[in-house]
Amino acid sequence: MASIRELHTQLVKKERSAVEITQEALDRIQALESKLHSFLTVTAQQALEQASAVDAKIAAGEEIGILAGIPIGIKDNICTKGIRTTCASRILENFVPPYESTVTQKLANAGAVMVGKTNLDEFAMGSSTENSAYQVTANPWDISRIPGGSSGGSAAAVAAEECVVSLGSDTGGSIRQPASFCGVVGMKPTYGLVSRYGLVAYASSLDQIGPFGRSVEDTAILLNVIAGYDPQDSTSLKVEIPDYAASLTPDLKAGKKLKIGVIKETFSEGLDPEVEAAVKNAITELETLGAEIHYISCPRFRYGLPSYYIIAPSEASANLARYDGVKYGLRSPDADNVLSMYTSTRALGFGTEVKRRIMIGTYALSAGYYDAYYLKAQKVRTLIKEDFGTAFQQVDVLICPTAPTTAFQVGEKITDPLSMYLNDLMTIPVNLAGLPGISVPCGFDSKGLPIGLQLIGKVLREDQLLQVAYSYEQSTTWHLQKAEIA
Domain boundaries, the chain: 4-255+437-480
> What is the per-residue pLDDT for 335?
81
* Cβ atoms 281, 443 nearer than 8 A: yes
In tens, the pLDDT along 16-53 reads: 999 999 999 999 999 999 999 999 999 999 999 999 99
Number of neighbouring beta carbons within 10 Å of residue 429: 33
Band (254; pLDDT cuts 50, 70, 90): low
Alpha helix locations (H) across 13-151? 18-36, 44-59, 102-109
C-alpha 160/C-alpha 158 separation (Å) is 5
**If you write DSSP's letter for every residue of 304-323 in order, what string do you get?**
HHHHHHHHHHHHHHHHGGG-
Residue 294 pLDDT greater than 80, yes or no:
yes
Average pLDDT over residues 350-362: 97
Band (230; pLDDT cuts 50, 70, 90): very high
Band (76; pLDDT cuts 50, 70, 90): very high
Known catalytic residue at 150: yes
> What is the per-residue pLDDT for 247?
83
> What is the per-residue pLDDT for 387?
97
Phi, psi of 386 (to 5 degrees): -65, -40
Fold of 4-255+437-480: Amidase signature (AS) enzymes (3.90.1300)
End-to-end Cα separation, the chain, in angstroms: 18
* Catalytic residue chosen out of the listed positions 38, 154, 169, 174: 174
Band (327; pLDDT cuts 50, 70, 90): confident
Residue 255 pLDDT greater than 80, yes or no:
no
> What is the per-residue pLDDT for 252?
83
C-alpha 199/C-alpha 174 separation (Å) is 14
- CB burial readout 45-71, b (16+ within 10 A) else e: ebbbebbbebbebbeeeeebbbbbbbb
In tens, the pLDDT along 433-464 reads: 999 999 999 999 999 999 999 999 999 999 99
In tens, the pLDDT along 386-437 reads: 999 999 999 999 999 999 999 999 999 999 988 899 999 999 999 999 999 9
Known catalytic residue at 101: no
Average pLDDT over residues 118-122: 98
* Catalytic residue chosen out of the listed positions 150, 166, 314, 439: 150
Torsion of CA 421, 209, 378, 430, to 10 degrees: 70
C-alpha 399/C-alpha 401 separation (Å) is 7
Short-list 314, 324, 318, 262, CA closest to 293: 262
* Catalytic residue chosen out of the listed positions 17, 57, 75, 117: 75
> What is the per-residue pLDDT for 328?
83
Percent of the chain clearing pLDDT 70 (strictly above): 99
> What is the per-residue pLDDT for 333?
87
List Cα–Cα distances, 282 to 123, 210, 213, in angstroms: 34, 24, 20
> What is the per-residue pLDDT for 413?
94
Residue 256 pLDDT greater than 80, yes or no:
no
Known catalytic residue at 38: no
Residue 253 pLDDT greater than 80, yes or no:
no
* Cβ atoms 83, 75 nearer than 8 A: no
Residue 329 pLDDT greater than 70, yes or no:
yes
C-alpha 140/C-alpha 307 separation (Å) is 33
Percent of the chain clearing pLDDT 90 (strictly above): 92
Band (250; pLDDT cuts 50, 70, 90): confident
Residue 246 pLDDT greater than 80, yes or no:
yes
Band (336; pLDDT cuts 50, 70, 90): confident
